[in-house]
Amino acid sequence: MLLFSKSENKDKREDGVFYVFSRSPLLNENLTSELRLAGLPHVRGIKCNIPDELQGTIPDDISGAVIDIGDCTDVDTVVQQLQMLIPGGVWYCVVGNSDSITLAQQFSSYNVAYYHSSAQRDLLVEAAVNGSQAVTKKKAIMIGILGCKGGVGNSRLAWHIARKIADEKRVATLLVSGSGGTRDMDIIAGKKLSHEYTSVKKHLDIYGEPVTQLSEVAEDAFHRYNFVIYEQSIHTASKEQLRGFAEQALCLVLVIDRSFSSARVARAMLEQVDVLHRINRLSRRVYLCFNDNRPGQHSEITLEDLEKLLEQRVDIHIPYIKSGLERVSTLPSDGLLASQGVNSLDLLVDRILGVARTEKKFSVLNTIFRRIRT
């Protein structure tokens, strides 16, 4: 099954603009000139501070990109930001001031080419010309929304998170339910789902059949999407299954309520994440989401008790809303779950994406891209 037609992708590359993002006016000018001379018809240079200002929205007409990272050597952060921002099917590479072979190999492990800004510019231009006729094969960013007890609201939360990421980032996003997740995603999304991929709105698809393992979803799909949101209930999962969730996802949201049972499951998941870090040196971002999704829970354990039990602070508290299921399903995501004057869902999505609210509001790159559109 083809998610995107080849002819549409080809037309987009031919009609689109190849962007050079660099803080250096000289590198911007030289690269855009050399790319035009090499045969790329539409090239535009944008002066911006990379990667500090990579919180903007990439232009819709982008067909390829060269991103100057200057002296930055934090490969994981740069790659994660690019995976969030660059649409699937768009070729890109990075250029920097370091001539380190190790740095280039680290980028290569993510299928991203790295070039030295002066010594390898010819190779960069050649790769850009050839690469603009192809695509950069990259893996989607996996985000696991894991319910630590049945009925804690992880499925509905995953739907709102997926919808908000698709709206804010405007890149291809896929929502997948695990075998322990909901069977009612069609009701939550308000749309009949097929057995495979269903487009529910712009930039957001849902995989219609619950899956036991993410490997059941076609491997090609993980290169087509920028984000895959995987929702699953883990209260009956074994240690091996918990370890598998930790290995697959870059970011984990553990959804708990006021019960000891959900706290025990969350603690077991946190232990597996710690084991993964100690043995394989793999870091995962984990957020605790405390969901007061039922009335009358205040007689049970308190938020402070949960934090002591888990030895970790709760990152997001979603308060109980009367007649919540109906109201939450009909409210727009940007008006959902207000707490202490700040939108809880906005805060959670910001933390998942690694965006500070002030950075998001005042991003210079975001302003630049808005200017491009107008």
Residue 372, in any domain of the structure = no
By percentage, how much of the chain surpasses pLDDT 70?
Answer: 77
Q: Are residues 147 and 291 in the same domain?
A: yes
Q: Which pTM was predicted?
A: 0.65
Q: Are residues 133 and 189 in the same domain?
A: no
Q: What is the DSSP letter of 153?
A: S
Distance CA 22, CA 197 (A): 37
Q: What is the DSSP letter of 216?
A: G
Residue 330 structural domain: 141-356
Q: Are residues 255 and 276 in the same domain?
A: yes
Please tell me the total count of domains within the chain: 2
Q: What is the pLDDT of residue 265?
A: 94
Q: Are residues 126 and 146 in the same domain?
A: no
Residue 1, in any domain of the structure = no
Dig out the tokens for 182 from the structure: 């909901």
Residue 128, in any domain of the structure = yes
Q: Would the pLDDT of 284 be above 90? A: no
Q: Are residues 181 and 212 in the same domain?
A: yes
Coil vs helix vs strand at 226 = coil
Q: Are residues 311 and 268 in the same domain?
A: yes
Q: What is the pLDDT of residue 336?
A: 37
Residue 370, in any domain of the structure = no
Q: What is the pLDDT of residue 132?
A: 54
Q: Would the pLDDT of 299 be above 70? A: no
Domain finish residue from 137, 156, 183: 137
Residue 122 pLDDT level (bands cut at 50, 70, 90): confident
Residue 129, in any domain of the structure = yes
Q: Are residues 85 and 156 in the same domain?
A: no
**Average pLDDT along the chain:** 77
Domain finish residue from 112, 137, 162: 137
Question: Average pLDDT for residues 275-283, to the nearest whole number?
Answer: 81
Count of alpha carbons within 13 angstroms of residue 105, beta-carbon side: 3
Per-residue b/e over 227-257, b at no fewer than 16 CB within 10 Å?
bbbbbbbbbebeeebbbebbebbbbbbbbbb
Q: What is the DSSP letter of 140?
A: P
By percentage, how much of the chain surpasses pLDDT 90?
Answer: 17
Residue 373, in any domain of the structure = no
Dig out the tokens for 204 from the structure: 């957001």
Q: Are residues 195 and 320 in the same domain?
A: yes
Q: Are residues 206 and 118 in the same domain?
A: no
Q: Would the pLDDT of 366 be above 80? A: no
Q: Domain holding 42: CATH number?
A: 3.40.50.2300
Q: Are residues 42 and 118 in the same domain?
A: yes
Residue 37 pLDDT level (bands cut at 50, 70, 90): confident
Q: Domain holding 289: CATH number?
A: 3.40.50.300
Q: What is the pLDDT of residue 190?
A: 83
Instruction: Compute the Cα dihedral for 94, 112, 140, 198 and give only its sign.
Output: positive
Count of alpha carbons within 13 angstroms of residue 192, beta-carbon side: 0
Q: Are residues 289 and 152 in the same domain?
A: yes
* Inter-residue contact 125 to 35 (CB < 8 Å): yes
Q: Are residues 59 and 47 in the same domain?
A: yes
Tens of pLDDT, residues 337-354: 333 334 778 888 888 876
Tens of pLDDT, residues 320-342: 765 444 333 333 333 333 333 34
Domain finish residue from 84, 115, 137: 137
Residue 132, in any domain of the structure = yes
Residue 362, in any domain of the structure = no
